[in-house]
Amino acid sequence: MASWNSVPLEVLYNVLGWVAFVSWSISFYPQVILNFRRKSVVGLNFDFVVLNLTKHSSYLIYNASMFFCSAVQRQYHHRYGSNEMIPVAANDVAFSTHAVLLTTFTLFQISIYDRGNQKVSKIAIAIVSVAWLSVAVCVFLAFPKHSWLWLVSCFNTLQVVMTVTKYIPQAVMNFRRKSTIGFSIGNILLDLFGGVTNYGQMAVQSIDQNSWVNFYANIGKTLLSLVSIFFDILFIVQHYVLYPSRKEVSSPNFDVVNGYEALNSFATKEAQGKEEWEQRAESSEGNADAAEEVVVVAVREKRMLGGKCC
C-alpha cells in the first residue's frame, strides 16, 4: 500500500481536499436559498438539474466503490501498481453524498414553486434514459468476469459525460433570455474555487509520489474540474459582462424574471410603436387631457417595470 513521503504535503493534501469539499458543498445552497426567497424557479433550467442529479449519482457510486470496496482497490493496484495511492479521498465521498441530497432537494423545489411554462425537455429525458440503460449494460457485461474496476470506470465516464452535458442547457437559456436572473452566481463562484482547489490537491499528491498517475488514472476527476472551470468562467462572463443583473424587486407579487423580460418587450414595443402613440395623441381631436393621459400611461408602465423614461 502506498504511503506519503512528506508529512507537510499530506497535511496540505487533506486541507485542500476538505476546502474543495466545503466550497463545492456550499455552492448548492445559494440556488436553494434564491429559489426559497423568490418562491420561484423561473430562470433555473430544469434540464440542468435533472442531468446534474444523474451526474452526481454516478459520481457517488464511483467514489464510494473506489473508497470502500476492497475488490475494486485490489484491481486498481494490480493495474497501476501497488505503490499507487487510491485516487479517491474521504472528502470525495462526502461531497458526492451531499451533492445527491441537495440536487434532489432542488428538484423538490421545482415541483412546489412557480416554474412558469418551463418543463424538463424530451432531449434531457432521452439523455438520462440512455445513460442509465448504458450503465445497466455495463453491469451485465462486468459480472461474468468480475471486472469491478472497469465497471466503476463506466460510472466515472458517465459522470464526466453528464458534467459536459449538464451545463449546456443553462448556458443556452441565459443566452436566449439575455439574462442570468433566477440562476445563482454564488453557486458558480464557489464551484470555480472548488475546482481550482481540487486541482491543487491532485497536484500535491503527484508531487509527493513523484508520479502523475492520479491525473490520468482518475481521468474523471481531472476532466470534472477542467470542464467545470470552463463553464464557470462562461457563466461569470454572462452574469457580469454580457447580461449584468438588474436589481431584484422585493414585492412578493412581482416576478423578477418575467418583469425583466416584460421590460425588454415593452422597450421594443415602445421603439416600434412611437408612431402609434403619436397617432393616438392626434386622434384625441385636440383634447389636451386625453393626450396627456396617453403619455402618463406610457411613463407609468415603464416605471412599474423598473425602466428609465426619456
Residue 103's pLDDT band (cuts 50, 70, 90): very high
User: Higher model confidence: residue 7 or residue 275?
Assistant: 7
16-41: per-residue pLDDT in tens?
Answer: 988 988 898 899 999 999 999 999 99
59-72: per-residue pLDDT in tens?
Answer: 999 999 999 998 99
Q: Output 236-243 pairs: Cβ under 8 A, ≥24 positions apart.
A: 236/185, 236/188, 236/189, 236/192, 238/171, 238/174, 238/175, 238/180, 239/180, 239/185, 239/188, 240/185, 242/178, 243/174, 243/177, 243/178, 243/179, 243/180
Residue 272's pLDDT band (cuts 50, 70, 90): low
208-251: per-residue pLDDT in tens?
Answer: 888 777 777 767 667 777 888 999 999 999 999 999 865 544 43
User: Higher model confidence: residue 48 or residue 18?
Assistant: 48
What integer pLDDT is reported at residue 255 of this predicted model?
44
The answer, yes or no, to whether residue 307 has pLDDT greater than 70, is no
The answer, yes or no, to whether residue 287 has pLDDT greater than 80, is no
Average pLDDT of the chain is 81
Q: What is the mean pLDDT of residues 124-130?
A: 96
The answer, yes or no, to whether residue 141 has pLDDT greater than 80, is yes
Q: What is the mean pLDDT of residues 13-18?
A: 88
The answer, yes or no, to whether residue 256 has pLDDT greater than 50, is no
pTM: 0.71
DSSP the chain: ----S-HHHHHHHHHHHHHHHHHHHHTTHHHHHHHHHHTB-TTS-HHHHHHHHHHHHHHHHHHHHHHH-HHHHHHHHHHH-TTSPPS--HHHHHHHHHHHHHHHHHHHHHHHSB-TT----HHHHHHHHHHHHHHHHHHHHHHHHT-HHHHHHHHHHHHHHHHHHHHHHHHHHHHHHT--TTS-HHHHHHHHHHHHHHHHHHHHHHHHHT--HHHHHTHHHHHHHHHHHHHHHHHHHIIIIISPPPPPP--TT--HHHHHHHHHHHHHHHHHTHHHHHHHHHTTTT-HHHHHHHHHHHHHHHHHTTPPP-
What integer pLDDT is reported at residue 259 of this predicted model?
47
The answer, yes or no, to whether residue 300 has pLDDT greater than 70, is no
84-102: per-residue pLDDT in tens?
Answer: 778 888 888 988 999 999 9
